[in-house]
Amino acid sequence: MTDAPDPSFPALHRVHPSGWINDPNGIVRTDGRWHVHFQHNPAAPRHGDIRWGHMSSPDLVSWRAEPDSLSPRPGEADAGGCWSGVALLDPARDHAPALVYSGVDGIDDEHARVMLARTSADMTEILEPGHVVADVPEDLRLLGVRDPFVFEAFGHRYAVQGAGILDAAGTDGDDAAPATPALLLYGCDDLESWEPLGTLLTGEDPIAGEIAPAEIWECPQLVQVDGDWVLLLSLWDRRGPAEGRTSRTVHLVGALEQDERGLPRFVARAGGPIDSGPDLYAPQAVQDREDDRVLMWGWSWEGEERTQEQADAQGWAGCLTFPRELALENDRLLARVPREIDALRAREELVIGNAVQVGAPPRLEVRAPHGARVEVLAADGASHEVVALDGALRIFVDGSLLEAIGERTLPHTRRVHLADGEQLRISGQELQAWSLRIPASSE
């Protein structure tokens, strides 16, 4: 990674200098390297012609761009785009990498098929192109279905897809009919053969319905955190405040139990938001069994104040967050900063009092043990508050991306684009601050 001329460019987060980036996908650790894929349009900062971009790292901070991975193929089930999914190491193939993803045909992009591709050991080459392993269910009237996630429980491998089931009065494609969110369940001990098994959870569950109201649950992630099962959901609703686009992300904490058929079902007992900021969606979580932790990346868009014309002018849009280490405390999902991120600090601490003020491009970490106030200062001295944050925090600023990770509070993700002559000011009590830079690669 190198700094880009654009002062908004998050150079510590993006290795691809141009194009569109959204959902993190296909995250896996193998042969000493982390591989992170993501939805990507290299040709323009617009959501179109979606394929999987790919970057890898030995240490979670020194990233290199890898060749793009999955790509749309004319005439195939993914002709309209390669959407969200996961990576895993298949024990049936000597733990060779496999990619499970949503393929859309460009005709009906709301009803995705589950597709499977296989890669080389270093994940830089597709050895077996994507093919359909689970078609769109014909026995359900679906508003949409997408985003497979694979997990293991009770000695078997299962998968879920996010979906929305139209109410009885509705029909496919009926824009007026309401829908209930659901997670479709599959058995996939053999990745080449997926068996539909009903649902793992639906919005008819009273706890899930209250905490995760939506018409489609997108990007479901089911992981074990501190001994409990945690379900991450991204909420999509045609009639919501985002008018059919993304709105927010939530988690449910609960247990996996077996029903009378021995199949898993998720029993929720609590939940809430994943992030308190406006600019995080579609997180992906992965069990890091080598270090006994769960890491989560999210997608951060350009922010509501950034127009498409501005994105076109800068030539890029979107980035992934830093990885976050998930933790549970009294059924609240919290995040910690992975130890590897400390390597981004410059050696010497900045000398500050109770405020730090930087111009573009800002790249720094601020430790705020008693909360902090973030402001933008104009060249004429005027200021406006961006956000006031409570609790003990580590605040990371990289170009236009601000991430605040609290010890006992929700993370906060927000985009802050500085105009010419503006500065970012972070104030509080007993602050510590460090400049951030990309460490020399150890590869």
Q: What is the pLDDT of residues 149-186, one digit of tens each?
A: 999 999 999 999 999 999 876 554 555 689 999 999 99
Instruction: Using the Cα atoms of residue 160, residue 97, residue 338 and residue 397 in order, give the sign of their dihedral.
Output: negative
* pLDDT at residue 57 greater than cutoff 70: yes
Q: What is the mean pLDDT of the chain?
A: 93
* pLDDT at residue 62 greater than cutoff 60: yes
For the record, the structure tokens of 16 come out as 């691809």
Cα separation, 351 vs 33, whole angstroms: 36
- Is the separation of the CB atoms in 88 and 152 below 8 Å? no
Please count the helices (runs of H) and the strands (runs of E) in the chain.
2, 32
* pLDDT at residue 383 greater than cutoff 70: yes
Percentage of the chain with pLDDT > 90? 86
For the record, the structure tokens of 59 come out as 């240490």
Cis check for the bond before 361: say yes or no (omega within 30 of 0).
Answer: yes
Contacts of 393 (CB under 8 A, 6+ apart): 366, 367, 368, 369, 371, 372, 404, 405, 406, 407, 409
* pLDDT at residue 427 greater than cutoff 90: yes
* pLDDT at res. 171: 52
Looking up tokens 């405040």 gives 241
Contacts of 111 (CB under 8 A, 6+ apart): 104, 136, 142, 144, 145
Q: For the whole model, what pTM was predicted?
A: 0.95
